[in-house]
C-alpha cells in the first residue's frame, strides 16, 4: 500500500525517508472525507501522528502549488506540551517540507527568547512551540497570527494535565475564526471533547486506538524482586538484553541522578534527562542516545510523551508509574513505527498490588518471571560472543599479519583466552540478587486443599458456649463421627505439622500488634535472621506483644543457632518451648482458634494507701477532730502594714515574716 497523497513534494520526501506504507492514523487523515476539515484524532502512541498531521496540512498550506511563497506571518501553528516534543516535531516537519521551501521556527521554554524573536521577525511558515513561550511572544507582539490557516494541538490531553488550559485558550482565541483546527491526543477525555466543541467546527472524529488490545509490537515482562534489589535488577536487565538503546524511567529527579551515576560507575554509558536540566543539556542527552555515544537514558516522565528515539528497543520501569495511562505512554517509547520492543517492569514484592492495578487498568498481558540471574546473563553473553560478526567477516592483509605474529608467540588456547578476557572486560559485571523472600502468593484460580476433618460451613456441628450456641470449626481430634467427644476421649495431639506433612517447631519474636506487625515484612525479616526461605516457614500467628511462627523441624536447630549468634538488629527471636510442647496445634487447628492474648503484666507499684502521718484533703463536714488540717494558703511576703490573724506582735522571725502562721479553719473562725 502506498501513501494516497497527490502532493508531489511530500510524496518525494516520504520515499526518501523509506516510508512505503502508511499507518492507520496516516491513512485516515489522508482520506478524502478528512480533506480541509477540522480533525479530532485519537491514535496509539508511536503510530506516526507527527507525520500524519504534517501530511494533513499539505493541502491547506500548499493547495495546488509545490512550493511555499515568501516567509512572512505564520501559516500553521503547532503546540506541544514539552520542549523535547516540540523540537522533535520541528525536525519531522523540516524534512517532510524540505523541498517546498518551508521555514520552520521553534519557540520553546529554556531557549533564548530574543533569538526566537529575531527568527519570527525574519518570517516563518510553520511555528512549533510550547504553550507558555508562545503566549509570551503573543503578549509581547512578536508573534502575529492574523494569516494563520491551521492550528494543531499535539498531545492535547497532556497539555491539559500539565495545567496549560488557560494558555491554550489564550492562544486559540488570538487565531482567526476561519482557521482549520487539528487536535491530536492519545486519549479523548471529557476535557478534550469540551475543548473540541469550543474551538472546532464540524470536526471529523478519528479513533484508531483499540481499548481492548495492547500494543502488538511491545512485549511486556514483569520481574518480582526484593525491595533492596531494584537497582541490581535494573543492572541485570540491561545486561541480559544488551539493547542498542535503552530508557530507564524513574519517578523523581533524585532517583534519576542516583541511577545515572551508579550505572555510569558500573560501566554503562548512561545519561540523565529531567526537568532540572537546561534545554541545552537535555538536547545533548537525547542526541547522545540517538547517535550511539550513550546507550542508556535515565529519565523522569518528561520523556514519556511524544519522544521518538531510533533503535530504542528496551524500556525499564525502575519506579512504577502513578497511573495506567502513564504506563502506556512510557512503554510507547519503544515498539514505534513497526519496530519491536520490550517493556520491563521492576516490581518489589511490596508493590505487587499496585502493579496489578496498573496492568489491569492498561489491559496488558504481562509475563511474570524472576529477575535475570548472573548465570542467565553469562549464558546470553556466550551466545552473543559466538554470534559476533567478527568471526565471519573477511580479514584484511594487515589483520592477517597480526594474526601470524600472535600464532608465532602464543598457542591457540592462549589467544582464545586473551580474546575472551578482553570481551568480558568491556561488559559490566552482573549483580547477585537476594532470593525471593516475599510473602507467598496464591493465584485466584487455586483453591485451598481441604484438610482432614474439615467440613463445609453447612456441615459443621454446633457446640454450646457460655454465650449460647454458635457454629465453629472443631478439631478433628476432638470429635467423633456424629458428635463432639469429651476431653477424656480425645487422643493426644501430635506435634504440629505443615500442610505437606513435615513436622514444625514454634518460635517467637517480640514484635506484635502494638508495633504494627504484618506478615508482609515479618516474613522477610524471619528469613534474613535465620537464613531460611519462605518454604520452610509455616503458620504465622500475630499477638499483642509477640508473634509466633513455625519453622520446619529439619531446619529448626540451624535456625535457632542463626538467630542466637546473629546481631539483634530487628526483634529478638527465641524458641517457643511452651507452644512446642503438648499445647502445640497443627496448622489446620490454628486457623480455627483465635489468637490468644497475653495476660496483662502485674502492676509495677503496690496499691495506693494514704499515709497516716499526712492530713487528708478536707471533705464536707470534716473538722480538726476528724484529723483534718487546713492547707497553707498564704505563700508570699506579708504586705507592709498588714499582719495575718494570729501572728504575735513581737515575732520578727524571717520565716513568720514571709509566710505567716497557719490560718484557722473557717469552721472555727
pLDDT at 669: 37
In this structure, is residue 523 part of a structural domain? Answer: yes
Between 481 and 13, residue with greater pLDDT: 13
pLDDT at 314: 94
Same-domain pairing of 172 and 309? no
Spatial separation of the C-alpha atoms in residues 489 and 385, rounded to whole Å = 72
Sheet strand arrangement including 204-207: 104-107, 126-129, 76-79, 150-153, 180-185, 39-42, 204-207
Percentage, residues of the chain above pLDDT 70? 73
In this structure, is residue 109 part of a structural domain? Answer: yes
Same-domain pairing of 18 and 55? yes
Cα-Cα end-to-end distance for the chain: 118
Number of domains making up the chain: 3
In this structure, is residue 236 part of a structural domain? Answer: yes
CA distances (Å), origin 53, targets 35, 56, 152, 207: 12, 5, 8, 14
Between 601 and 214, residue with greater pLDDT: 214
Q: What is the pTM of this model?
A: 0.56
- Residue 148 sits in a domain of what CATH number? 3.40.50.300
Same-domain pairing of 143 and 238? no
Same-domain pairing of 115 and 86? yes
Same-domain pairing of 236 and 341? yes
Reported as a pLDDT band with limits 50, 70 and 90, residue 164 is: confident
Spatial separation of the C-alpha atoms in residues 265 and 282, rounded to whole Å = 21
Query: What is the extent of the structural domain holding 298?
Result: 218-379
- Identify any residues that bridge with 558 across adjacent strands, giving them in sequence order: none
Spatial separation of the C-alpha atoms in residues 286 and 271, rounded to whole Å = 9
- Residue 584 sits in a domain of what CATH number? 3.30.70.330
Spatial separation of the C-alpha atoms in residues 14 and 56, rounded to whole Å = 14
Strand (E) positions, 16-136?
39-42, 76-79, 104-107, 126-129
Q: Name the pairing type of β-strands 312-317 and 341-348.
A: parallel
pLDDT at 594: 42
Same-domain pairing of 178 and 224? no
Q: Which residues contact 564 (CB under 8 A, 6 or more apart)?
A: none
Same-domain pairing of 236 and 191? no
> Using one digit for the tens of pLDDT, what is the confidence trace for 25-67?
888 888 888 888 899 988 776 678 888 889 989 888 888 788 8
Asked which of 89-98, 354-363, 480-489 is least confident by mean pLDDT, the reply is: 480-489
Q: Which residues contact 494 (CB under 8 A, 6 or more apart)?
A: 586
Residue matched to cell numbers 486457623: 591
Same-domain pairing of 169 and 242? no
Exposed e or buried b per residue across 150-160, where buried means at least 16 C-beta atoms within 10 angstroms of its C-beta: bbbbbbbbbbb
> Using one digit for the tens of pLDDT, what is the confidence trace for 388-414?
888 888 888 888 888 888 888 888 888
CA distances (Å), origin 551, targets 240, 343, 502, 569: 36, 39, 10, 20
> Using one digit for the tens of pLDDT, what is the confidence trace for 138-162?
999 999 999 999 999 988 887 887 7
> Using one digit for the tens of pLDDT, what is the confidence trace for 236-247?
999 999 999 999
Spatial separation of the C-alpha atoms in residues 335 and 216, rounded to whole Å = 8
Element counts in the chain: helices (H) and strands (E): 23, 20
- The three cell numbers locating residue 549: 511462627
In this structure, is residue 43 part of a structural domain? Answer: yes
Give the number of C-alpha atoms closer than 13 A to the C-alpha of residue 168, restricted to the C-beta side.
27
Among residues 291, 321, 290, which one has the least CA distance to residue 305?
321
- Identify any residues that bridge with 315 across adjacent strands, giving them in sequence order: 247, 343
Spatial separation of the C-alpha atoms in residues 541 and 579, rounded to whole Å = 12
Same-domain pairing of 69 and 152? yes
Same-domain pairing of 255 and 355? yes
In this structure, is residue 332 part of a structural domain? Answer: yes
> Residue 383: enclosing H or E segment and its boundaries?
helix 374-386
Q: 201's torsion region: left (phi>0), alpha (psi -120 to 50) or beta?
A: beta
Give the DSSP letter string of 18-53: T--S--HHHHHHTSGGGTTS-EEEE--TTS-HHHHH
Residue matched to cell numbers 532517583: 255
Q: Which residues contact 202 (CB under 8 A, 6 or more apart)?
A: 37, 38
User: How many Cβ atoms are within 10 Å of 365's Cβ, its own excluded?
Assistant: 9
Is the model's pLDDT at 539 over the cut of 70?
yes
Give the number of C-alpha atoms closer than 13 A to the C-alpha of residue 506, restricted to the C-beta side.
22
In this structure, is residue 364 part of a structural domain? Answer: yes
Give the helix, strand, coil percentages of the chain, each rounded to 5.
40, 15, 50
Mean pLDDT of 487-513: 65
- Domain boundary, last residue among 379, 397, 428: 379
CA angle 191/128/173 to nearest 5° reads 50
Q: What is the 3-state secondary structure (H, E, C) of 414-479?
A: HHHHHHHHHHHHCCCCCCCCCCCCCCCCCCCCCCCCCCCCCCCHHHCCEECCCCCCEECCCCHHHE
In this structure, is residue 36 part of a structural domain? Answer: yes
User: How many Cβ atoms are within 10 Å of 161's Cβ, its own excluded?
Assistant: 16
- Domain boundary, last residue among 346, 379, 412: 379
DSSP letter assigned to residue 302? G
pLDDT at 116: 93
> Using one digit for the tens of pLDDT, what is the confidence trace for 424-443?
888 888 888 876 544 444 44
Cα dihedral 516, 520, 522, 525 sign = negative
pLDDT at 558: 81
pLDDT at 319: 94
Same-domain pairing of 202 and 232? no
In this structure, is residue 126 part of a structural domain? Answer: yes
- Domain boundary, last residue among 207, 237, 252: 207
pLDDT at 462: 41
Amino acid at each position: 500500500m502506498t501513501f494516497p497523497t497527490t502532493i508531489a513534494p511530500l510524496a518525494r520526501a516520504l520515499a526518501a525517508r523509506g516510508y512505503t506504507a502508511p499507518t492507520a492514523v496516516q491513512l485516515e487523515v489522508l482520506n478524502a472525507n478528512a480533506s480541509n476539515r477540522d480533525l479530532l484524532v485519537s491514535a496509539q502512541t508511536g503510530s506516526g501522528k507527527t507525520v500524519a498531521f504534517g501530511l494533513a496540512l499539505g493541502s491547506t498550506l500548499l493547495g495546488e502549488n509545490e512550493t511555499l511563497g515568501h516567509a512572512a506571518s505564520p501559516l500553521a501553528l503547532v503546540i506541544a506540551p514539552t520542549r523535547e516534543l516540540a523540537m522533535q516535531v520541528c525536525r519531522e516537519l523540516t524534512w517532510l517540507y524540505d523541498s517546498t521551501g518551508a521555514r520552520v521556527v521553534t519557540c520553546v521554554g529554556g531557549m533564548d527568547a530574543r533569538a526566537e524573536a529575531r527568527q519570527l521577525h525574519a518570517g516563518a511558515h510553520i511555528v512549533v512551540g510550547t504553550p507558555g513561550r508562545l503566549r509570551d511572544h503573543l503578549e509581547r507582539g512578536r508573534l502575529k497570527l492574523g494569516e494563520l490557516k491551521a492550528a494543531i494541538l499535539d498531545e492535547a490531553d497532556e497539555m491539559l494535565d500539565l495545567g496549560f488550559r488557560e494558555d491554550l485558550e489564550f492562544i486559540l482565541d488570538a487565531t482567526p475564526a476561519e482557521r482549520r483546527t487539528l487536535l491530536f491526543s492519545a486519549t479523548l477525555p471529557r476535557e478534550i471533547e469540551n475543548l473540541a466543541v469550543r474551538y472546532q467546527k464540524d470536526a471529523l472524529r478519528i479513533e484508531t486506538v483499540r481499548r481492548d488490545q495492547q500494543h502488538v509490537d511491545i512485549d511486556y515482562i514483569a520481574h518480582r524482586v526484593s525491595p533492596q534489589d531494584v537497582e541490581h535488577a535494573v543492572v541485570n536487565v540491561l545486561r541480559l538484553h544488551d539493547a542498542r538503546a535503552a530508557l530507564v524511567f524513574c519517578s523523581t529527579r533524585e532517583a534519576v541522578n542516583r541511577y545515572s551515576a551508579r550505572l555510569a560507575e558500573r560501566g554503562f554509558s548512561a545519561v540523565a534527562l529531567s526537568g532540572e536540566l537546561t534545554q541545552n543539556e537535555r538536547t545533548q542527552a537525547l542526541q547522545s542516545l540517538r547517535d550511539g555515544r550513550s546507550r542508556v537514558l535515565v529519565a523522569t516522565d518528561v520523556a514519556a510523551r511524544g519522544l521518538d528515539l531510533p533503535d530504542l528497543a528496551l524500556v525499564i520501569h525502575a519506579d512504577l508509574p502513578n497511573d495506567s495511562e502513564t504506563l502506556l505512554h512510557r512503554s510507547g517509547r519503544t515498539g514505534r513505527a513497526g519496530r519491536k520492543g520490550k517493556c520491563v517492569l521492576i516490581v518489589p514484592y511490596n508493590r505487587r498490588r499496585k502493579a496489578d492495578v496498573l496492568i489491569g487498568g492498561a489491559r496488558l498481558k504481562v509475563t511474570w518471571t524472576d529477575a535475570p540471574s548472573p548465570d542467565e546473563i553469562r549464558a546470553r553473553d556466550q551466545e552473543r560472543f559466538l554470534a559476533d560478526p567478527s568471526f565471519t567477516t573477511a580479514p584484511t592483509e594487515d589483520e592477517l599479519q597480526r594474526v601470524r605474529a600472535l600464532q608465532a608467540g602464543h598457542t591457540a588456547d592462549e589467544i582464545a583466552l586473551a580474546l575472551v578476557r578482553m570481551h568480558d572486560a568491556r561488559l559490566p559485571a552482573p549483580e547477585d540478587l537476594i532470593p525471593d523472600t516475599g510473602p507467598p502468593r496464591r493465584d485466584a484460580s487455586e483453591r485451598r486443599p481441604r484438610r482432614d476433618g474439615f467440613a463445609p460451613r453447612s456441615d459443621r456441628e454446633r457446640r454450646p458456649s457460655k454465650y449460647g450456641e454458635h457454629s465453629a470449626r472443631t478439631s478433628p481430634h476432638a470429635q467423633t463421627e456424629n458428635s463432639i467427644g469429651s476431653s477424656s476421649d480425645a487422643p493426644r495431639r501430635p506435634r504440629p505439622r505443615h500442610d505437606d506433612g513435615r513436622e514444625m517447631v514454634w518460635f517467637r519474636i517480640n514484635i506484635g500488634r502494638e508495633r504494627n506487625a504484618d506478615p508482609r515484612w515479618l516474613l522477610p525479616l524471619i528469613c534474613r535472621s535465620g537464613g531460611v526461605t519462605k518454604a520452610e516457614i509455616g503458620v504465622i500467628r500475630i499477638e499483642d506483644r509477640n508473634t509466633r511462627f513455625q519453622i520446619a523441624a529439619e531446619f529448626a536447630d540451624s535456625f535457632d543457632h542463626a538467630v542466637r549468634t546473629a546481631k539483634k538488629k530487628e526483634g529478638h527471636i527465641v524458641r517457643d518451648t511452651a507452644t512446642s510442647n503438648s499445647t502445640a496445634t497443627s496448622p489446620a487447628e490454628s486457623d480455627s482458634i483465635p489468637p490468644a492474648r497475653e495476660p496483662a503484666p502485674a502492676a509495677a507499684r503496690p496499691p495506693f494507701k494514704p499515709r497516716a502521718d499526712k492530713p487528708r484533703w478536707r471533705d464536707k463536714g470534716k473538722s480538726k477532730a476528724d484529723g483534718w488540717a487546713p492547707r497553707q494558703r498564704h505563700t508570699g511576703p506579708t504586705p507592709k502594714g498588714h499582719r495575718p490573724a494570729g501572728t504575735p506582735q513581737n515575732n520578727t522571725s524571717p520565716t513568720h515574716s514571709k509566710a505567716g502562721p497557719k490560718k484557722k479553719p473557717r469552721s472555727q473562725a
